[in-house]
Amino acid sequence: MNMVTKIQSQDRHERRWLGLEWPRFAGWQWKVLVLLTAVNLLNYFDRLIVFPMFAYLKDEFSVSDLKLGALGSILILVNSLAVLPLGYCSERGNRQKIMAGGVLFWSFATTLSGFAATFKTLLTARALVGVGEAAYAPGGTAMITSCFPQRFRARVQSIFNLGMLVGGVLGLAAGGLLSQWVGWRSAFFLVGLPGFLMALSIDRLRVPVSVSPEPIPPIRSLLKIPAYLAVLVGGMFVVFSSSAFATWGVEFSGRYHDMGVAQASLWLATLVLVGSMGGVFIGGYVADRLQDRWPWGRAITIAVTLLVGTPFLYVATHTSSLFLFLFCLFMGTFMLTCYHGPATAVIHDLVKPRAYAFSFALYMFFIHFFGDSVAPILIGLVSDLSDLRRGLMIAVAANFLAAACFFLVAWLIRVRTVRHSESAA
């Protein structure tokens, strides 16, 4: 029995944890999942740590909100431009070495951020972080999908994405706390160091699943899949919304609820951490269970949770009550993070195994280039022209449009399933 057959056979050997069904994964599978999740945590830790530093950077470099927003936008813009060629290389070359090189590169760039003497130097360093991170996600998601059974795809991808969510939350918390305790420059030095060890661990990881020898499908073949196109647009709106709140959440708390940087960082980090952990696990589990009943189960899970979360985000941006603001932000985060694992699973459900890394790379290019590279700087511009509350209303609208797109994805998958059934008959 080859390794792929063994992986699929794990569907028949389940056990229950807290009422949730899981197969008996092998030790090497857990090693892959834990290590890649930990690196994904570091990825988003390094990415988001700069946002709570805005007040300190504004004083240091005397810059506008527009320029502060550019610190988030430049990283995502460069990341989106680099992810397609690096995703293609992940399909053709040594996936682990490409991933390890990316981790090493972004860790170096994070450390370099602490040496920035001018705002332009800091902007350049943050852009370089985006290059390193572009080498990691396509290969990481493809490796996890290849190493685990299809039936549990949303759940294992949710665990991988939990690293992103926890890392982002810890980055937001650490950015505020470390900047206050040791200074923003030293904060960059401290968080850049672990990446060098992570890169070595990935390079030495042994995975007994080889890449399929099939040719990589061209981009035009992916763009002929209507449901995949709808996922691209829906994902763009999701990351626009989440990036806007991640970038400006701490600043919004200070301006409208009189919270200090450290206090806001700690409160928001705690609420987002708890909400995202619940959302990512429940979203992945429900999506896989509904997928057992309907081929569009994962897509409909995303659509419903995004739709339910929109009113909470609206209230969070408008209420004058601190308690209601924190509660609605928690609920909005919970609903929004149900999306992450199922979205990757939906993409891989729609394409052949040889396209796992590249289809995700194309997805990342689209959502980052048109979504969260635009959000920080656009919200900053609206804030300069009007106020931050109006800027964040754009993010609330984007969340609603994302829900509509994933209802369309579910309908398109249903149509595709019916057509395949009719042609088979």
Q: How many helices (H) and strands (E) does the chain have?
A: 19, 2
Q: What is the pLDDT of residue 7?
A: 59
pLDDT per residue over 56-114, tens digit each?
A: 998 899 888 888 888 888 888 898 889 989 888 887 778 888 999 999 999 999 999 99
Both tokens assigned to 356: 């796992």
As a whole number of angstroms, the distance between CA 323 and CA 129 comes to: 36
pLDDT per residue over 156-185, tens digit each?
A: 998 998 888 788 878 877 888 888 888 899
As a whole number of angstroms, the distance between CA 85 and CA 97 comes to: 15
Q: What is the pLDDT of residue 14?
A: 55
pLDDT per residue over 10-62, tens digit each?
A: 554 555 544 455 567 788 889 999 999 999 999 989 888 998 898 899 889 98
As a whole number of angstroms, the distance between CA 278 and CA 336 comes to: 11
DSSP secondary structure letters along 95-115:
HHHHHHHHHHHHHHHHHHHTT
Both tokens assigned to 152: 């549990």
Q: Average of pLDDT values for 189-199?
A: 90
CATH 3.40.50.720 at 26-203+214-424, yes or no:
no
Both tokens assigned to 348: 């891989």
DSSP state of 30: H
DSSP state of 379: H
Torsion angle, alpha carbons of 332, 336, 337, 343, to 10: 170
Q: Nearest CA to 198 among 75, 36, 47?
A: 36
pLDDT per residue over 372-397, tens digit each?
A: 878 888 998 899 898 899 999 999 99
